Amino acid sequence: MKKAIYYWIIAIIITLTAAVYQRLTGPSHPKRLSFYYSEIKYKVRLPRNHESTSFCPVELKIDNEQINAKIYYKKYPSNDEWTINDFAKQGNKLIAEISKQPPAGKILYVVKLFDKNNNILLESGDVVIRFKGEVPRWALLPHIFFMFFAMLLSNLTGLLAVGKRSSFRLYTNLTFILLLIGGMILGPVVQKYAFGEFWTGVPFGWDLTDNKTLIGFIAWLVAVIVNWKKERPVYSIVAAIILLVIYSVPHSMFGSELDYSTGTIGQG
């Protein structure tokens, strides 16, 4: 019993570490920057993900009348001219807005901050924000729940298989069921609401998120089949390693992208 607890603890640590890494390195995570002015450190967060139902606010928590900012943006990818707007002062923030885009539409923008003499204090560099359709909670929350616990049980199963615990076969089946529900059933539903297509992976496209899910699903399907009548722990170990590697790849990387010239959605 005590050994089982250790397996669970290690699996939880691995899962949480991978989840945090994936979250912080993903292209939808806000870009974080900082700068000093008059010996005060200011931090800014620039959004890279927003729903297509509204304009996207870019808020800079800077309460200093001597600092102003401009935003430069255009559709991405495109050869459009830059739209340039000033940030407006609202309370203790500087706020600008990026025009809303259809699902999978992207905007390339740059933020520049200036002092009272128009000296540049900070230039953000290129930031790409992707818009998505509104995903209802009834689809999104179960998707997240099943995918997280599929990953947790995957890590647990791999550890149990390494430890030659016979219970790994039970958890192999449970992992597969959770991955089936979260990735292959609810995943396409979320994709449909967010970007207008149920599936943009193989054989219809090269969307990395969909293809990662497919690879993980196939790996665990093989593990279930070969362990059905006889214990073959190596297959569950391999499946767990594959899903861990897949899970560690930043979420939404090379995801759906609207081609403004054709109006079609492809891979970014």
Average pLDDT over every residue of 251-259: 70
**Please, what is the Cα angle at 201 between 209 and 241, to 5 degrees?**
50
pLDDT digits (tens, 9 = 90+) for 160-193: 999 989 899 999 999 999 999 999 999 999 999 9
Average pLDDT over every residue of 74-81: 91
What global pTM score does this model have? Answer: 0.84
Which domains does the chain show, CATH number per domain?
2-26+136-267 (no CATH), 38-132 (2.60.40.10)
Q: Element (H or E) spanning 251, and its range? A: none
pLDDT digits (tens, 9 = 90+) for 27-68: 788 999 999 998 899 999 999 999 998 899 999 999 899 999
Characterise 34 by phi-psi region: left (phi > 0), alpha (psi -120 to 50), beta (else): beta
pLDDT: which is higher, 265 or 237: 237
Going 19 to 139 to 268 to 129, the CA torsion angle's sign is: negative
Whether residue 130 contacts residue 108, with contact meaning beta carbons closer than 8 Å, is answered with no
> Tokens 């006889």 map to which residue?
230
> Tokens 């997240």 map to which residue?
144
**Please, what is the Cα angle at 168 between 162 and 174, to 5 degrees?**
135
Residue 264 CA to residue 170 CA, distance in Å, equals 43
Q: Shortest CA distance to 20 belongs to which of 12, 31, 32, 9?
A: 12
Q: Shortest CA distance to 210 belongs to which of 226, 223, 197?
A: 197
- Predicted local distance difference test score (pLDDT) of residue 44: 94
132 CA to centre of own chain: 12
Residue 68 CA to residue 95 CA, distance in Å, equals 10
- Predicted local distance difference test score (pLDDT) of residue 268: 58
Written as one letter, the residue type at 108 is L
Q: Shortest CA distance to 169 belongs to which of 181, 153, 184?
A: 153
Q: What is the largest CA-CA distance in the chain?
A: 76
Residue 186 CA to residue 199 CA, distance in Å, equals 11
Token pair, residue 236, equals: 């569950």
In this predicted structure, which of 5-9, 48-52, 72-76, 205-209 has the lowest mean pLDDT?
205-209
